[in-house]
Chain A
Amino acid sequence: MMISDTLERLKSGLLDLDMDTAVDAARSIAETGDTHAIKDAVDTVTNALQTVGKRFQDGDWFLTELVYASEISKEIMNILSPLMETRALESAGTIVVGTVAGDLHDLGKNIFINYARSAGFRVIDLGVDVSVQKFITAVKEYKPFALGMSCLLTSTDKEIQKVIQQLNEQNIRDRVKVIIGGAALTEEFSRSVGADAFAPDAVTGTDIVKKWSAA
């Protein structure tokens, strides 16, 4: 079978939410050991995920489909990533992400991480219940161009403000763009605490960091 056919199977497997077909195609490509084909496969996944994101934003797809497409892409990348050339692994930039202190919800954050990684970003996941100090230390250590904070609970949204205040007090606010998302948050809240952007969903969040990275 031609590589182009296998790439087509990879794409249709992902867009038809057919895990077996997508994983089988990824394995076939991996077995060739052809670095160009592997690079093309990764590009195919990236482009397919953009289609997934658009379908979600247009309301044609729903959260379960977004999550499952993300899981399929994760399986594919587990097969392809170890075979990629170092040069191909160079990222589009680093993003630090975490759920704020007192909040243990991570579904939206994890979907964002999958999509951002598939878009070529290096994502440092600090996990859940992340303290202000841990966010600040990570910004200093990893020097990301973007910091993402997730918050599901209204009762913990003040943590976002504390992190931004600390970034200001430590004179590192201008080094990093701040994007926030989560059920408890709104555009108005984002403006009031001085974040750079609010993302109502993981796909929009990925679009925003892509724009920042390209600027």
Chain B
Amino acid sequence: MDFRERILAAVSHEEPDRVPVMGLIMDPATVSKTLGKKPANFTGMLRKPLLRNMIPGLMNVNWFWNRFYYGNTAGALESAIKLGFDANWTIYYLFQLRKDTRSTTGWAWHDAYGRLWEMGVDEDSGMTVNYSRALCETEEQWESWIEQKSNLFETLIRNVADFHKKLVDDYGNRIMPIGFATPGIFENSWQPIGFVNFTKFIFQKPDFVKRVISFYTDLYIKNLEAVMKSGVEVVFGGDDFGHKTGPMLRPELIERFFGESYRRVTDLVHSRKRKYIHHSCGNIYQLLDRFIDWGFDGIVTLEPTAGMELGKVREQVGHKLVLIGNLDVAYLLVRGTRDEVEMAVRKAIKDAARGGGYILSSSHSHPLVDPTRLKWMVEAAHKYGKYPINI
């Protein structure tokens, strides 16, 4: 079997020749280390007078941003190929660089949806980017934002289609790019507003919350269609519904606010004969049955630091969901020994891979995830993951 056949068999709950391995976002630091490249010191450049004036001008031009961003993702796929992964998710963001006095660097990324992303620096001077705060904290600010950004949303959808198509064209014969439509409807509903404000609105202005969700559902459907135009055969979506110890919202509230939206999502993806795999961080045991009901085909990440155990999940959902992930990134894939990585891979395969329906991967990405450990993960998958599973 080749990588494509292996992944497609696994997501159809058939036994491939061996357990497939995939990569998630692939942090730029991990990519640089894998490819032996020194990361560009982007925040350092922004401190230099000449570049400080030039960089934002370039970054905020659509074609330049797309070229810059494509280069990063292409690097991630090169890195995934080098590590021996069968697939890797591909994800598009449209950021604009803005001055920001509250940010430590004096600059921050604003995305099209109204979220502010802070820049930081990793150990090797590479740039880290994390969602930090909301840009539309009131109903009025949100309404104004979506009105002002209507052209940007159209640009975004066009960019998504072009981006994924180019990746499939350029890399589809060497690895399976799995198109990730992001941000998910829940995240995109609360992050531009902020979690505390969003919570208040749920209780005080539920009709406003429904309007926000409806707007982002329509946009998400367009985003998914753009991703699927590329020809990707498996689609990922992402919404962190869980936190450390459980769902962020009462499951009944999640159903009331997001159930219809996600049924629309899976209806669309299935009508195009594709699989919809959902990414959610956190402890999501209480949501798994709901995900099945919504028509999700699989779930990716399964964070062990939030108490997610593969064996327990498989016992709960059987083969109604494809399971992806669960290898720890707090210790194992950062500092774990070769033996520890091998034993963790063996256990994951033992707990989840019988009958297909399991793809091995890390449970997340961050700058300290070590390529050597990722390589050990792949080697252990080849050692223990041959079907029929006999461990």
Bound together: yes
Interface residues of A (CB under 8 A from B): 17, 19, 59, 61-65, 67-68, 71, 102, 104-105, 107, 110, 129, 153-155, 157, 182-186, 188-189, 200-201
Q: Which of B196, B245, B364 contacts A67 (CB 8 A)?
A: B196
Is A63 touching B334 in the complex (CB atoms < 8 A)? Answer: no
* Cα separation A17 to B195 with both chains bound (whole Å): 17
Pairs of residues from A and B, 5 with the lowest C-beta to C-beta distance, nearest first: A62-B250, A63-B248, A104-B132, A155-B366, A67-B199
Query: Is residue B130 within 8 Å, beta carbon to beta carbon, of the partner chain?
Result: yes
**Which residues of the other chain, A, contact B305 by a CB distance below 8 angstroms?**
183-186
B contact residues around A63 at 8 Å (CB): 243, 246-249
Check A183 against B243 for contact (C-beta < 8 Å).
yes
Further contacts, 17 of them, CB under 8 A, given A102-B120, A188-B331: A17-B203, A19-B203, A59-B246, A62-B247, A62-B250, A63-B243, A63-B246, A64-B249, A64-B250, A71-B196, A71-B200, A104-B132, A154-B368, A155-B122, A155-B366, A186-B305, A186-B330
Establish whether residues B330 and A62, one from each chain, have CB atoms under 8 Å apart when the complex forms: no
Q: Judging by beta carbons under 8 Å apart, are A65 and B250 in contact? A: yes
Which A residues are in CB contact (< 8 Å) with B133? 104
Which residues of the partner chain B approach A157 to less than 8 Å between Cβ atoms?
A: 330
Chain B interface residue count, Cβ-Cβ cutoff 8 angstroms: 36
* Distance between A73 CB and nearest chain B CB, rounded to angstroms: 13
On whether the beta carbons of B366 and A154 are closer than 8 Å, the reply is yes
Contact, CB under 8 Å: B329 / A154? yes
- Cross-chain contact A64 with B253 (CB below 8 angstroms): yes
| Known contacts A155-B122, A186-B305; A107/B195 CB under 8 A | yes
Given contacts A155-B128, A184-B305, contact A68 B246 (CB under 8 A): no
Does B244 reach chain A (CB closer than 8 Å)? Answer: yes
Picked from A62, A67, A110, A188, the residue with its CB within 8 Å of the CB of B246 is A62
Residue of B nearest to A61 (CB): B250
Query: Is B313 an interface position by the 8 A CB rule?
Result: no
Cβ-neighbour of A68 out of B118, B200, B281 (below 8 A): B200
For A201, give the chain B residue with the smallest CB separation: B245
Interchain CB contact under 8 A, B132 and A68 = no
A157 CA to B202 CA, complexed, in Å = 33
Residues of A contacting B118 with CB < 8 Å? 104
Distance to closest chain A CB from B123 (angstroms): 9
Q: Are A104 and B246 in contact (CB under 8 A)?
A: no
Asked if A184 and B203 make an inter-chain contact with CB atoms under 8 angstroms apart, the answer reads: no
Min CB distance B2 to A, Å, is: 33
Pick the residue among A105, A129, A183 that contacts B104 (CB under 8 A).
A129
B306 within 8 A of A: yes
